[in-house]
Amino acid sequence: MNKPIIHFIISALLGLGIGYIAFDVIPGKSQEQEVTTVNESSKPAETAKEEKESTDTSSTAAGEENILQAKGCLGCHSVEALNLTGGATGPDLSDAFTNVEGKHGKPVEEFLKEPTSAVMSGVIGGNPLTEEEINQVVKVLKEASEK
């Protein structure tokens, strides 16, 4: 065999091995969250009910933070006004509620349905938001713009 082919095969195997170790063996946040969910379901019904009621009465930012995490927004974006840190690839969304219309020519609700940017078209096109999800995201972005 040629030396370059052998080097390629060895490099590919090393890359796959390192990827396996980094993403499967070392527990990430998603696995920690699953453990938390399992532990909560094993609690007595009264305790779970009390915790649900306290969660329902907590600040709306904590509940709405979940929509941004659930839909993967924080993978690329941050919302510094709400102290939500995320990726640095996309712009900070603290002023998105007021800035999207001027930048993209449509209100944020319409932008989330049919984005005019190439990147967001690909992201949302592959995983479209429901009306309820759009309303939740808009509510979070409005809250961020008011802070």
pLDDT in tens, 113-135: 988 888 888 888 888 889 999 99
Give the residue, 58 or 7, on which the prediction is more confident.
7
Give SS3 for 53: helix
Top-level CATH class of 60-147?
mainly alpha
**pLDDT at residue 90 above 50?**
yes
Give the global pTM: 0.55
Structure tokens at 103: 């930048």
Longest CA–CA separation in the chain, Å: 68
Give SS3 for 89: coil
Kindly state the average pLDDT of the residues 96-100.
89
Kindly state the average pLDDT of the residues 12-39.
58
Residue type, 84: L
Residue 25's pLDDT is 52
Which strand (E) or helix (H) includes residue 99? helix 96-104
CATH 1.10.760 in the chain: give the residue spans. Answer: 60-147
